[in-house]
Every structure is written in C-alpha cells, then in structure tokens.
Structure 1
Amino acid sequence: MSFIKLEQITKLFHDSLRPAVDSLDLTIERGEIITLLGPSGCGKTTTLRMLAGFEQPSTGRITIGDQVVFDNNKSLPPEKRGIGMVFQDYALFPHLTIEKNVMFGLNKWKPKDRKERAQEVLDLVGLGDFGDRYPSQISGGQQQRVALARALAPRPHVVLMDEPFSNLDAGLREKMRYDVTNILRKANTTAIIVTHDQKDAFAVSDRVVVMKDGIIQQVASPREMYRCPKNSFVAQFVGKTNLLTGKLEKDKNLVQTTIGTVCLPLQKNQVCETSCLSSEIEGMCETVKLSIRPEGCQIVSEGKGSYFGTVERVTYSGEYQELYVNLQSDKSSEPMVIYAPVDQDIELGSVVSFNIKSDLVCLVE
C-alpha cells in the first residue's frame, strides 16, 4: 500500500490562465527517495509546497499514511502533517547554536528528551561535536546537514527538500549528494526532493519524476529513464541525445533514417521492458522518432563503422571528447553528438566512422 498519494492535484493561481500543476497523480512508498525534476516554472516546487501545506490545491486529494491531509472538505495545517522541511537557503537561526537550531522544532518535548534527540540526529549527520557552535562558524555543507538534522529531529513522516544542493560548489555538491542520501537511508526516511539538475536527481533518487508545464512526463528509476525516456522532452532533459525520425520496418527491429538503418534493442531487453519498445511498439505508426545517446555511438578505426560524418566541433570535457558530427550533405541539419575517448586525437574537419549500440537507442513519443 502506498505511503503518500497525490490524486488529481491541480493548482490554478488567480493571475494565470494555465494551471501551475495539472491533474497530477503520484504514489510514493515508505522509505523511498523521490525527486521532482524539471525546468523552472514546471510546477515541481508548487507540488512540494502543496504537500507541505504551504499552498492549497485548487482540486484533488493528498494522503500521508492513513490520514487525508487535503481534499475538498479539509486541509490540515503544515504543523499537523508530520512533515520536515529543508529549505534552499537552509534557514538556520544565526543567533542560536547548532544544538538549539536542531531543538527548535521540539518545543513540545521534555527538556531532557529534546537534548538527547538533538544529539542523536547530530550524531547521525556526523556533527555530534558541533552542538555549541553557531551557523557562521561552520561550512555550507555542514549547514546543510544541520538543516537536515533539524528536519529529522521531530521524526516526521516525510522530509521535503527544495533545491538542497544549489548553493554548493561542484566538489562539495558531489559529496553532499552521497552524504544526504546516506543520512536519509540510515534514518529510513521517506523524502521528496525538488531540483532542476539531472545529476542531483539521478545521484540520490530511487525514482525520478520529470515534469513539464505542470504535467508529469515520466516516473521511472534513473537507469530506466536515461535508457528509455518516454518522449523527446524527457530524452533531452535528462542528458544529451540525438533525435532522429525514421520509418519502422515490418519486423519492428529496424528503423530507416536519414543517416542509415538503425537497430532497435530486443523487445525482451530488461532495461526497456516497461518502455514503449515492449508495450506500445505494436500499435505505433510507421513513422517513428528515435533517441540515440551520444555514448551509444562508438568510433571505429580505419573507417570500418556503419556510419560516417565530418567533425564540425570538438569540446573537451575532461572525461570524454564531445564531437559534433555532420552526417548529411544538407548543412542546415543538426549534427549528431558523439562521445569519444580523451586519448583519441580527433581534428576538426576529419571524417570519423562509428557504430551505434542498440541498447542506447529508444523509441520516443
């Protein structure tokens, strides 16, 4: 049985012609870490705020555990929903010690229990010896862990985190992804995180919810979503991809495109067993759209590949080279993006040949 249910949640602000969130349905299991991912204005933060009780849906129903916290007849206030919140700027009180910041939400507890619980969660987040310090005396990553400890202290049903990594530099960001996930797992806490960064979402989540214009586009594990995006928006938002249109052959395994014949993965492929490849392919029309990931294009030496093109641009990322390859005589067409190893010497204007791995090819809407 689902732990959190959002049913037909719609939010229409008075000054808007289009709903910020439109007929959203989402179920979350106890202990899951879910990320709402999407561009600015897609409705992810509004969804988080409605779950927390800071915004009231126009219509719909929200259930946490066995308690309805919102429907057409009732709306529980935020403090009665059993929710812990970690804000984007952490919202720590600068005049209170770390210990007192963590104890802030425990005002109804006995003094001894408050102190013991504060120490317990500070130990959990690795800051057990920092209780007498002030927020200004610790780093940004440590402040984030204090904010998480404060949210966990009252033993909430669910923790909500709004853009938790956006204020951190790249190196600390990567570390905090691991730390936050580890803390949530140890606490066995259900968590919903909002972010616009695909790497953040994929690093911490059991499932990712991609939103656009207030509508859920896809809900899937990071692996499934990357390999089997449902539509072209998801394919482009969760990493770079090449989108091609072609004709699906009768055997349902090959697609004829402007760059040549492209093989689809086997329909029994476990990676894509819940994607359109296994469940919808029989009903698809002859013209289809393909998503081909750049790392699925493997350069072959001595011109032995199935596809050829001229290198128009090379971008060095450190981990790989990003090649923009023109495969058509029509110069107005979009070049394909291909990832090449950093140790390969590839010059502008050179001709490369490559093959396409079928397991990184997917049909999209």
Structure 2
Amino acid sequence: MSVRKVIDSCLGLFERGFPHEVSLFMWEQTATFDKIISRDELECAFEYEFPKLRSRIRENGGYFRMIPLVSFNAPEGRFLRYLVVVSFSAFRKAWGTRRVLPRQIWLYAAADAAMRNASKDNSGNFFFYATVDGSLFILVFFEGRLCHWSEESGFGDGLELLEIRLERFRRFLRTDPLFSRADSFEEFRLKGVFERRLFNDAAHDPFWRRIDLKKRTVTQITGAPRGLCWLALVLCLTVSLLCRWHLQNDSYDCVGCIDPPAEELLPPKEFHEVVFEDVVDEVPYARPVFEKCELPSFHLMGVVEHKVAVVMFDSLLGESSPLKEGMRVGRFALNSIERDRIQLGCGDSTAIVEVGGEAM
C-alpha cells in the first residue's frame, strides 16, 4: 500500500459526514472523441435539458453538484455520465465543519457489502434495487464501479408495478451502449432502512471520501490528519531522511564516474480540470450553445408485441427502422412502447407519437 493510500485512509478515520436530504440521478452527455467539455458547457447543457428543475432550484435557494461517474467511447462518440445531486434547500450553518453527503449513500455501502459477500464476483457487474419509503432506488456497478443511480417515487406495496419497472430496466441494460458489453448482471434486492453505520461506511469509501456538498468542487479531501495519522506521516519522513543520509555517507564511492547528460523531458500534456460551481451563478450569454431537445421527423408505422416500434425516418428515403425501449431518436430516448403509440423523453420534454402519426 502506498503512502498516499495510508494517509487517505487515516483522513477517513477522522472525518464525520452529515446526511442531507437530496435527490440523485444519472445524467449523460455526448461529445466528439477529441472534445473536452468545460464546466460552462456542462452548465449550459443542464440549463437546456432541465429548465424547470433549475428554476425550482433557484426559487428554493438550493444547489446541485455533478460528480463524474464514467466516460466511454461508442460509435456515436464519447459518452460522459455524471451523478447529479440536487437539493431544494440551502446549507445550514449548524452543520459546522462536517462534510455534507447525500443521506441515501447508505445504500451504496449495503450494495458494496453484498458484492463482497457474493458467491461469485461476476466481473464486478451487479444490479441492485431497493424500495424505501415508497421510492425505488436502482444502482448499477459495471466492472466494480458505480455507473448508474436512479430514484423514482410511487412504489409502495405494488409488486406488479415494481416488476414492470424492473423488467423495463433490464431491457435497458441489454441495449445500453456501456452495460450491454457485460455478459450478465448479478441482481440483488437490498432491504433495510437508513443506518448511521452504513452511512459512515459509505462516507469513508474512496468514491465518497473526496466529496463534500458544501464545497464547489468534488475532488477535494476535507479534514486534516491527526493522532496516529500524524505519527504515520512523521515516521515516513524520518525513514526517508535516514535513507537519504545513508546514501550520502555510503563508503562505496564512485571513482572516475561521469555523470550522464541530462535527458530532455517532453512537455507535460495539458490537464483539464472540471470544477463545478454553485447553481446560483448566472449563465452568461457568451457561453457555447448546446443542441436543444429536437426530435427528428419520422412516421410511426406500427408496434410489434409492445416490444418493437417500426418507424420510417424522412431522411432514410422510405426505409423503415425497428426501435426498442432505451434506444435514442436524436437526443430523445424511447421510454415506452404501448399498444398504439410510443413515448419519448429528453430532459423535461416528452413526445407521444401514435401509430400512423408523424413526429415533427
């Protein structure tokens, strides 16, 4: 274990987190393979896709944070997925110096414990769901890394509605450009209620340990080493000084040695750091404009067994194309296929197209 990891572990021992009521959901952006999305561009994209949500945040004095989850390449370009934390209330001074974290991260700790105790590692691909206080929580770990989090209300004791939603999400896993790369996902249902022990375990996990919702960035480690951590740091420095003194006073001197010429180092690659600021900042008009939620023109020819929608795009010169739930039409995602119509969504925008109808 490196010195850095030892110090990080020590920092986690002394940090205390405060559970805050927020909402979490995964948000996706696409870019070209050589494009680096800046903070301003992300804020513009969020403004375009969720205007109602951002207005509500402003009205209530709340905030949002975007935590990078995963980025990957696909034929359509580079996909970047973020975990968005939304709060409709402001920070309170009573929290003091404690870190502020989402209350529901106890589910993350419960999922982590379930993965560690699983009979097979399944290459780190796991699908967890839980119903807590009438809300459905879905967490997906791809190759051992959290890559999806969603929350939906309206799931009390209705097992039929729950199974319909889960089956729809399983189809999404099979068609998603990232999750479809996995052979299978081990499925678990998490049970229980909020526990401070699980919340503390999650707060010390490497994924959450660098996050404090009170901070404008998500990469800063809060707190300072104390106690045994200071002792470990002093011991490391002492050993380093002793080794250096020993080398300088070594009796084996080099006679007639010639120092090699210094090699020229290549200049470091440019590093782009994404810093997410508070939502209350106004978006200047000079910021780059992202593509709005525009739906390509097509005709819905028919629906096959509620599973496949046959559409004809005007741009394909009369050729029909099959679509399944989870697939995209422009920036819109196909959310549901019903008996005589389909429903698509893009941020706060929805579109319903009936059989025989045309989407404009």
- Structure with more relative contact order (C-alpha pairs < 8 Å, separation 6 or more): 2
- Asked if Structure 1 and Structure 2 have the same fold, meaning a TM-score greater than 0.5 normalized by the shorter chain, the answer is no
Bin for the TM-score computed over the shorter chain: under 0.3
